[in-house]
């Protein structure tokens, strides 16, 4: 005998309020809705890319209270009262890119772009520490996100370049 999903897991719904890209949003969601589906389906933030949907590829990475998480492994209800950033938050003005975006564009750190939102957000997180990183350290830091296209070297270059740009801006200099 088969049991329907609804019968097995219930149909409970709950209101959640999440600060998404600096804007508070409140929605009623199924308690089984993932954070990734909430961002994509409720808020139309389709930069959150779903690959494996079970925590392997990292392409659904977003920043949760400033730290990278796999949004396919979290429930929307877990985000209630927290802050989430997607790649849409990096630049509200297309004429003024974030240092991470500038670096990835100039170093050609992307091809198909499927992993790119996750890579950009992870890069933002790690360069905000302010430390310079070797190639090996960058590769370790981005190892949770799989890129099937680039061969990684351009991404490594972009992460290092983004760090240099951000440190330059923080110091008040130009890059």
User: Which residues are near ligand FES by CB under 6 A?
Assistant: 50-53, 55-60, 70, 72, 110-116, 147-150
Of 29 and 57, nearer to ligand FES (C-beta) is 57
Of 20 and 36, nearer to ligand FES (C-beta) is 36
Q: Smallest distance, Å, CB 100 to ligand FES?
A: 15
Of 133 and 149, nearer to ligand FES (C-beta) is 149
Exposure b/e, 28-64, CB count within 10 A at least 16 = b: ebbebbbbbbbbbebbebebbbbbeeeeebbbbbbbb
Whether the CB-CB separation of 51 and 57 falls below 8 Å is answered with: yes
Q: Smallest distance, Å, CB 39 to ligand FES?
A: 12
The residues that bridge with 24 in the sheet, in sequence order, are 19
Beta strand pairing status for 13-20 and 83-85?
parallel
Of 18 and 35, nearer to ligand FES (C-beta) is 35
Q: Smallest distance, Å, CB 5 to ligand FES?
A: 20
């Amino acid at each position: 005998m088969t049991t329907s999903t609804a019968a097995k897991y219930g149909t409970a719904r709950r209101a959640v309020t999440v600060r998404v890209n600096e804007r508070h949003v409140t929605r009623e969601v199924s308690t089984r809705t993932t954070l990734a589906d909430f961002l994509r389906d409720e808020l139309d933030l389709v930069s959150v890319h779903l690959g494996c949907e079970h925590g392997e590829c990292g392409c659904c990475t977003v920043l949760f209270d400033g730290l990278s998480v796999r949004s396919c492994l979290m429930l929307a209800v877990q985000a209630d009262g927290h802050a989430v950033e997607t790649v849409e938050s990096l630049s509200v003005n297309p004429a003024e890119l974030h240092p991470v975006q500038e670096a990835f564009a100039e170093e050609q750190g992307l091809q198909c772009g499927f992993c790119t939102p996750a890579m950009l957000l992870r890069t933002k997180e790690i360069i905000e520490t302010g430390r310079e990183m070797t190639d090996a350290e960058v590769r370790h830091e981005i190892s949770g996100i799989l890129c099937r296209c680039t061969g990684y070297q351009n991404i490594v270059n972009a992460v290092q370049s983004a760090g240099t740009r951000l440190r330059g801006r923080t110091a008040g200099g130009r890059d």
